[in-house]
């Protein structure tokens, strides 16, 4: 069985009288060790899919199997445990807790899994993102890139099966963004399954497999190869004009 | 371990806004302060009540003019009790073993350039034995001094210290002011240090023969006759009361059916009277404390609601990291309890200070702050914190993680 199996997943929201079909029957399989990006314009349903994949929300219909467990039918308590043990989150705005130090931020997931020793694994996670020398600094004393690295350390500290990153480079300059992407690649090489949600096509194309969404449906799903690029340039509405220009250069840089 | 971490986390959140935390807990500070002060005052009163009567023995019966308070004014015949009544009770009542008539007043006492305020007690030679309070130096006045209205005085230990310091007082002349001007008295004795008897600091007292006191104030009546029954047993007390009433009604020519112009109360009844007075004070103090704690609870609930709104995104992040709804609830409940407990600690200090201030300001009122009262006040503060934290904490725990993460 694959790490993630999604069958006909649907999420509907009621907004007054109208029903918003944020996700309209998505079927998807993700294997362990994959590096996937989910892309699409805003309103395409990629955020909704990410929330469901991240066990933050329940689908209206359909099944979601994660690591052999049926997540779509779990209780709040089981969902929280699944998030804690199997999923690591990285957000666009880092979402660190401002009043605590880097190492304490990293320890948060360990804290909720009631681990007795949190300091050593937290420092180890910081070391993996190259930030052990900033362990005692508060988020306000760190640069944007450093903050995001702390967030990544926090996401991997419990050794999850999946790393879910929601626009992880969205608040960073290009260079820092590339450094962050580099860390994702390293983690992926070490065996972590990475799911990257982004609307920036150059970032999305750094994954091995790209999933394009529109109107709550997957419209393209395949390896980020030349054939994909050809199809992509054919459907220009998926890509912001200014980003389109940088596609060819961004991809090889990441594949080094 | 988990709990300890939550406590540390709460302390840290509170420390971010120290002023806000203190303002939020102001109600609890005042409430707990009131509880501690109230208990200190009430404990003090109880102790005073026990101590006040214990040295007198419990076989005492108090005879006083029948004065009632009606519409805020004292009504009745203040002069109904005469010195001769005391003598009559002494002679005619076989159930009464000892009698002490008394007049009490406050006056300035002077020796050379030193002066002090003292309670002037005019009484009989039975004072030492009936109050279990004896002279330390010199002697108490005798029946002869009373018969002759001699101007002799026995000083309380503090009065002696105030006027004479370490020097001997016996034989010295002091001046006591009175209605008819200051008069000179010879000091014949100094009482041993005693503290309080029946709510009076007897160390700040000057004792003179009752006849002399009456002269000094131009009185021909006395304020009270204290009689000792044969034993503290109810039967003996009742018999003494009946006999005293009979003798006095006869002496005052009160016809059958007519009301007494005096009242006779056993010590037990006096204690009960003080007890009910104490109960009224208790109700007032506890009401203040209760209202303040309710207000304090509202303050804490308010600040916790603000904290939950402010930290909505943090709650979302924590949930994404695997925090259970119970974990979120616990975090805010602990925070509310801690802010309240800290307020309680400040309140204890305030209450303690208040009680000490009251004691110093009034001098008469004694206050006792017990560990038990402090523990109870702190427990109440924590309780208020938990109760007022429940709703905000519940609200935080019910947040939808997706919505919370999106919150700006």
Q: pLDDT, tens digit, for every residue of A51-73?
A: 999 999 999 999 999 999 999 88
Query: Which DSSP symbol is given to B54?
Result: H
Tokens of A84: 């804690």
Report the half-sphere exposure of B121 (CA within 13 A, side-chain side).
26
Select the residue from B7, B17, B321 to test the A interface by mutation, using most A Cβ atoms within 10 A. B321
Binary contact (A154, B321; C-beta < 8 A): yes
| A108·B318 Cβ contact <8 A | yes
Integer Cα distance of B245 and B239 in angstroms? 10
Taking the CA of residue A55 and the nearest CA in chain B, the distance in Å comes to 8
Contact call for B320 and A77, based on CB within 8 A: no
Helix (H) or strand (E) holding B266: strand B262-266
Give the whole-angstrom CA distance, residue B137 versus residue B121.
Answer: 18
Residue B365 binned pLDDT confidence (cut-offs 50, 70, 90): low
Position A11 confidence tier, pLDDT thresholds 50, 70, 90: very high
Spatial CA neighbour of A214 closest among A64, A35, A49: A49
Please check whether residue A90 is in contact with residue A163, taking contact to mean a CB–CB distance below 8 angstroms. yes
Band the pLDDT of A234: cuts 50, 70, 90.
low
Nearest Cα residue to B48 out of B376, B208, B242, B281? B281
How far apart CA A205 and CA A198 sit, in angstroms, is: 10
Query: Among residues A27, A85, A39, which one has the least CA distance to residue A199?
Result: A39
Asked whether residue A247 carries a pLDDT value surpassing 50, the answer given is no
Strand pairing of B60-65 and B262-266? antiparallel
User: Between A56, A108, A114, which is nearest B401 by CB?
Assistant: A56
User: Which tokens is B262 given?
Assistant: 């005096």
Instruction: Kindly state the average pLDDT of the residues B24-36.
Output: 88
pLDDT over 70, % of chain B: 95
> Quick check: ipTM above 0.95?
no
Task: Give the structural domain span for A41.
Answer: 4-254
Give, for B130, the enclosing helix (H) or strand (E).
helix B127-131
DSSP H or E run through A213: strand A209-214
- Is B86:B222 a contact under the CB 8 Å cutoff? yes
Q: Report the distance separating Cα B61 and Cα B100, nearest Å.
A: 11
CA distance B408 to B406: 6
Entry field: residues in chain B:
408
How many pairs of residues across A and B have Cβ atoms under 8 Å apart? 63
Confidence band for B361, pLDDT divided at 50, 70 and 90: confident
The secondary element (H helix, E strand) that includes residue B227 is strand B224-229
CATH number where A234 lies: 3.40.50.300
The Cα of B45 is separated from the nearest Cα of chain A by a number of Å equal to 49
**pTM, whole model, 2 decimals?**
0.73
Determine the pLDDT at residue A42. 85
How close, in Å, is residue B296 to chain A by CA atoms? 27
Instruction: Give the separation between CA A53 and CA A30, rounded to whole angstroms.
Output: 11
Burial class (CB within 10 angstroms; exposed 0-12, middle 13-18, buried 19+) of A182: middle
> Minimal Cα–Cα distance from B330 to chain A, Å?
12
Asked if the Cβ–Cβ distance from A51 to B320 is below 8 Å, we say no
Q: Which residue of A81, A99, A109 is in closest CB contact with B13? A: A99
Closest by alpha carbon to A32, among A191, A206, A170, A222?
A191
* Residues of chain A contacting B324 with CB distance shorter than 8 Å: 76-77, 80-81, 112
Per the structure, the count of domains in chain A is: 1
Residue among A213, A131, A107, A224 at smallest CA distance from A179: A131
More confident position, B53 or B382: B382
Exposure string of B172-210, with b = 16+ CB inside 10 Å and e = fewer, is bebbbbbeeeeeebebbbbbeebebbbebbbbbbbbbbb
């Amino acid at each position: 069985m694959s790490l993630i199996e999604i069958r006909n997943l649907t999420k509907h929201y009621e907004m007054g009288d109208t029903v918003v079909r944020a996700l309209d029957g998505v079927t998807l399989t993700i294997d362990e060790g994959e590096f996937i990006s989910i892309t699409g314009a805003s309103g395409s349903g990629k955020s909704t899919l990410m929330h469901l994949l991240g066990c933050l929300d329940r689908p209206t219909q359909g099944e979601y199997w994660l690591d052999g467990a049926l997540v779509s039918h779990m209780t709040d308590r089981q969902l929280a445990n699944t998030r804690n043990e199997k999923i690591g989150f990285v957000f666009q705005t880092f979402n660190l807790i401002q009043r605590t130090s880097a190492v304490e931020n990293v320890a948060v997931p360990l804290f909720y899994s009631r681990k007795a020793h949190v300091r050593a694994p937290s420092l180890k996670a910081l070391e993996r993102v190259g930030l052990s020398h900033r362990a005692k600094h508060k988020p306000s004393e760190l640069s944007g890139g450093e903050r995001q690295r702390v967030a990544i350390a926090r996401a991997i500290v419990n050794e999850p099966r999946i790393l879910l990153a929601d626009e992880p480079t969205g608040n960073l300059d290009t260079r820092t963004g590339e450094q962050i992407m580099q860390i994702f690649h390293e983690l992926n090489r070490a065996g972590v399954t990475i799911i990257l949600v982004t609307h920036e096509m150059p970032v999305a194309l750094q994954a091995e497999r790209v999933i394009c969404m529109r109107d709550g449906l997957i419209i393209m799903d395949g390896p980020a190869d030349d054939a994909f690029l050809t199809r992509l340039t054919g459907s220009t509405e998926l890509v912001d004009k200014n980003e389109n220009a940088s596609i060819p250069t961004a991809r090889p840089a990441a594949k080094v | 371990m988990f709990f300890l971490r939550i406590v540390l986390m709460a302390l840290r959140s509170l420390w971010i806004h120290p002023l806000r935390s203190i303002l939020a807990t102001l109600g609890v500070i005042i409430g707990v302060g009131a509880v501690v002060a109230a208990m200190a005052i009430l404990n003090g009163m109880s102790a005073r009540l026990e101590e006040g009567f214990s040295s007198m023995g419990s076989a005492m019966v108090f005879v006083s003019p029948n004065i009632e308070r009606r519409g805020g004014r004292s009504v009745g015949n203040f002069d109904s009790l005469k010195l001769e009544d005391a003598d009559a009770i002494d002679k005619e009542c076989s159930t009464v073993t000892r009698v002490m008539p008394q007049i009490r007043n406050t006056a300035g006492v002077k020796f050379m350039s030193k002066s002090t305020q003292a309670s002037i007690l005019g009484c009989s030679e039975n004072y030492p034995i009936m109050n279990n309070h004896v002279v330390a130096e010199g002697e108490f006045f005798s029946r002869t001094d009373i018969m002759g209205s001699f101007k002799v005085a026995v000083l309380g230990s503090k009065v002696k210290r105030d006027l004479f310091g370490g020097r001997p007082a016996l034989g010295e002349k002091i001046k006591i002011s009175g209605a008819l001007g200051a008069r000179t008295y010879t000091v014949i004795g100094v009482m041993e240090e005693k503290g309080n008897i029946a709510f009076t600091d007897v160390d700040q007292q000057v004792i003179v023969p009752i006849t002399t006191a009456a002269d000094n104030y131009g009185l021909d009546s006395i304020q009270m006759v204290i009689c000792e029954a044969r034993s503290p047993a109810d039967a003996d007390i009742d018999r003494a009361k009946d006999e005293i009433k009979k003798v006095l009604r006869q002496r005052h020519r009160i016809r059958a059916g007519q009301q007494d112009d005096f009242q006779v109360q056993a010590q037990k009844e006096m204690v009960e009277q003080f007890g009910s007075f104490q109960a009224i004070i208790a109700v007032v103090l506890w009401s203040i404390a209760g209202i303040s704690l309710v207000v304090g609870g509202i303050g804490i609930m308010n600040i916790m609601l603000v904290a939950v709104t402010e930290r909505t995104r943090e709650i979302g992040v924590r949930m994404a990291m695997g925090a259970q709804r119970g974990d979120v609830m616990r975090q805010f409940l602990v925070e509310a309890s801690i802010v309240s407990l800290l307020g309680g600690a400040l309140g204890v200090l305030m209450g303690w200070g208040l009680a000490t201030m009251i004691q110093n300001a009034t001098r008469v009122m004694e206050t006792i702050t017990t560990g038990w009262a402090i523990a109870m006040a702190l427990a109440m503060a924590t309780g208020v914190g938990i109760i007022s934290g429940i709703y905000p904490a519940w609200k935080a725990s019910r947040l939808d993680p997706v919505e919370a993460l999106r919150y700006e």
